[in-house]
Amino acid sequence: MTITSTTTTSQNWTRDMIDVAGTTIEVVKGGSGEPLLILHGELGNHGWLNYHEGLSQNSSLFVPSHPGFGASPRLDWIMNMRDLAGWYLRALDEMNIGPINVIGHSLGGWLAAEMATMDPQQFKKMVLVGPAGIKPPEGEIFDMFLVIAKEYMEECLLDAEGSAEFHQIFQEEPTPEHVELLEVAREEACRLSWKPYMYYPGLPHLLGRIKSLPTMIVCGRQDSVVPLSAAEVYNQSIQGSELAIIDNCGHLPEIEKPEEFTTLVQKFLGN
């Protein structure tokens, strides 16, 4: 494994390129304390946000960009979420990371769940935030490919205009490089999650393997992207899991309600 530090844009975190598991991935690292893996959602990483800063007070954050997202090159053989989960387990083995606490957001929540069904001992505690991966028994998962990236992000938040970090992520005049990163992320998300869209029919039946892994599912009560009924299936399928619902919040509680979200996660992790 080779680590190349490309930039250091803050005293609190670094951005590195790591050669591992047959490719190179972009990784943001920061904080101190027990290691915490954070798996991003379908639009990729959005930089070091308020919730990262909050969690970094008690945890050492390890935030990779999945292959095909950000500066991490695509691996053509990874065609679905179970492929990606298998690659991540190999990568964590090679980096000698584990067991480790994990947070997965949306697509990343689905990814974390897939990894846990393959190897429940890889994680110490797992937090799934608005996780995709399960077909909602009530409602439908919002089709992000019907709109542009900014409109999808607006759908993810109950009050996008009132969110300071929304305006940080989507500036009035984004650079061409930023627009390209978002579109590449959407393309890779499509490759991984199309037909059926954003879920795997077998996942609820596989989640029984996670019965010994402490798990918390976090979602916004007003989530219009992944309906609450999907989180309830996760809760019912993972023995002993807990479901935390944040009021007046959409699909991205880590952005819309960062303090409440951080408090919930730190309490669950025992920080």
**Any residues with CB less than 8 A from the CB of 82 and at least 6 apart, and which?**
114, 118, 200
Nearest to 226 by CA among 118, 152, 146: 152
What would the two tokens of residue 79 be?
């065609």
| Calpha distance 61→38 (Å, rounded) | 7
Mean pLDDT of 153-169: 90
Burial class (CB in 10 A: 0-12, 13-18, 19+), 2: exposed
| Calpha distance 33→19 (Å, rounded) | 24
Domain ranges of the chain: 2-269
Name the superfamily (CATH) of residues 2-269: Alpha/Beta hydrolase fold, catalytic domain (3.40.50.1820)
Burial class (CB in 10 A: 0-12, 13-18, 19+), 123: buried
pTM metric for this prediction: 0.94
pLDDT in tens, 202-261: 999 999 999 899 999 999 999 999 999 999 999 999 999 999 999 999 999 999 999 999
87 HSE (CA, 13 A, CB side): 23
For all residues of the chain together, what is the average pLDDT?
Answer: 93
pLDDT in tens, 97-133: 989 999 999 999 999 999 999 999 999 999 999 999 9
What would the two tokens of residue 110 be?
């689905």
